[in-house]
Chain A
Amino acid sequence: MSNHLSDTELVDYAHHALPDALRETIDGHLTACPHCQAALTSHQAMQHRIQHNLQADLEAVHSSPQMTFAAIAPRLKRSRQVTQGEQSRRFFSSAAMLATLAALVVVLAAVFGAIGYPSGGAGPAVIPQPPSVAMGAVLTASIAVADNEQLHLMDYDLSAAQLTPGAILTITLYWQTQRNLMGDYDVFIHLLDATGRLMASQDASPAEGTRPTRGWQIGEPITDSHTLLLPNTLRAGDYRLSVGLYDPSSGARLGNGILLDRSITIVP
C-alpha cells in the first residue's frame, strides 16, 4: 500500500489533536490499512511509556520539610488582597500627591517665568524629562499600540524607591484599555544605569500571564505585578527604571517605547 498516513497525522491522531472531520477520515483509512494501524499502535505504546515514566519520576520526588504554609504566611499577611479601604486610601493619597505636584509646577512656572534667563546666557542645561507619571485615577501615560488601540497606564506602585543590591523590586502597574486589543503584548521592566546600560530586566505577559492583553475588557482595571531581581553586583547610585510594552512576536516596542521612566536609588 503506497498511500500511508504521515507520521504527523498519526502522532496528532494519537494525541487527539485532529478536528473531527479529519479524524473520521483517518479512522476510515486505519480500518483498511494494517500498516498504519501498526504504526499507530507503536505511537500509542510509546506515548503511554513516556507518560507512565514521567509520572513515576515526578511522583517519586517530594518537596522538602521546609516547604510549609508557615513559611509563606508572613508574606500573606503583609500583602493580602487590597481592601476597598486601601483602594480609597490609595486613591486619595494619589490625588493629594497629584494636587501637590500640580501646585509645585504652577509655582515653578511662575518663578521661572518672572525671572527669565538672559538671552544667549548659560541657562540651566535642558534635560530631557521622562513622561510624567501622575498618581491616582488620572490617565497618565497612554500608548497607541495599533490602529484604534489605546492602552493607558493609570498608576503604579513600587515596593521601594531605594533598594540594596540583590533586593527584589516589585512594581505593580494599573492598566486600562479603551478599545478591545487584537494583540497579546508583553511588559518589559528595565533597570538602566546612568549611561543607559541595562543592569537588570524582566519581560513577562501581564499579571503573570493570567491576563493577556487580548482579553482585557474596555474600561476594566488591570492590576499587573512584576518582580525584578537586582544584581548583587549593583553599585550604589541612581538608576532609571523603564517600563513599556512590546509585541513578543516581533520584539518591536509599542508606541513611543517607554511608558514609565523614573529614578531608583541603590544604596550599599
Chain B
Amino acid sequence: MCDISALIQQWQTGDERAGEALYSHYREPIFRLAYGLLGDAADAEEVAQDTLTYALNRIDQYDAARSSFSTWLHTITVSRCRDRQRRRRLPWQSLTAWLQQGGDVRDPAPNPEARAIQLETQSQVWHAIQALSPPLREAILLRYWADHTFQEIAIITGCPVSTAQSRVRLAFQQLRAAIAPTALADFGEEQVR
C-alpha cells in the first residue's frame, strides 16, 4: 500500500523516485477517468500526461486540508478534459438524438449466452454514458467509477453540491431510460406521495 502523503513530501524535497512512484500509482486511474470523459484513448493519454505533469510540477499547490490527493488530481483531469473538448470540438450528441438516429441500447432478454449478453450490455452502458452531455457524464463517472461523494464532485466540477446531486440523478435517469426503457413501466413516473 502506497503512503501517498510520504511520497508527496519526498517529491517536494526533490526525490525523483517519489515522483515516479506517484506517477505510477495514478497513471492508470487518471488515464481511465480521462478515457471515460473523452471516449478516445489517444486524447485520454495526452490529458493524463498533462494532468500528471501539471500535478507534479505544482505539487506545492496541493493542500491536503482541502481535499484528498486523488480529488485534486481528478479536478485537474476534469478541467483538462473540458479544455480538450473545447479545442477539438469533440462531438457528442444527446441520448435522445442518438436513439432517434438508430442507436439502440436496449437490454436483450436473458438467455443462455450470458457472457455474450453481458459483453453486449457493457458496451451498451458504455455507449449510453458516452451519449450523455459532458456535465452529466462527469457526474456519473465521478460518482459511479471514482466513488466520490457529492461534496467532492461539487469541488471537482466547480458546482454547488445540489447541482452535483441533480446531475447524478439526471444521468442515472437518462441511462436507465436508454438501457431498460420498460423497466419502470410497472412503477410509473413521478408519482406523488
Contacts and interface: CB of A to CB of B under 8 A. Distances in A.
Given A3-B193, A7-B190, A81 B126 contact: no
Contacts of B148: none
B7 interface: no
Interface string B93-110: 000000000000000000
A211 B186 CA distance: 47
A205 B154 CA distance: 14
B87 interface: yes
A50 interface: yes
Given A42-B183, A76-B53, A209-B79, A11 B193 contact: no
B136 interface: no
B120 to A, nearest CB: 10
A66 B192 CA distance: 55
Interface residues of B, number: 70
Given A3-B192, A5-B191, A61-B32, A81 B125 contact: no
Interface of A: 3-9, 11-12, 15, 17, 29, 35, 38-39, 42-43, 46-47, 49-51, 53-59, 61-64, 66-67, 69, 71-72, 75-76, 79-81, 184, 202-205, 207-212, 215, 223, 225, 227, 229
Given A4-B192, A15-B168, A58-B145, 16 more contacts: A38-B186, A39-B187, A42-B184, A53-B122, A57-B125, A61-B32, A63-B27, A81-B57, A81-B59, A202-B83, A205-B79, A207-B58, A208-B54, A208-B75, A208-B79, A210-B76
22 contacts: A3-B193, A4-B192, A5-B191, A6-B192, A12-B165, A15-B165, A17-B150, A17-B168, A46-B180, A51-B144, A51-B145, A58-B35, A61-B32, A63-B31, A63-B45, A64-B41, A71-B49, A75-B57, A76-B56, A79-B57, A207-B58, A229-B87
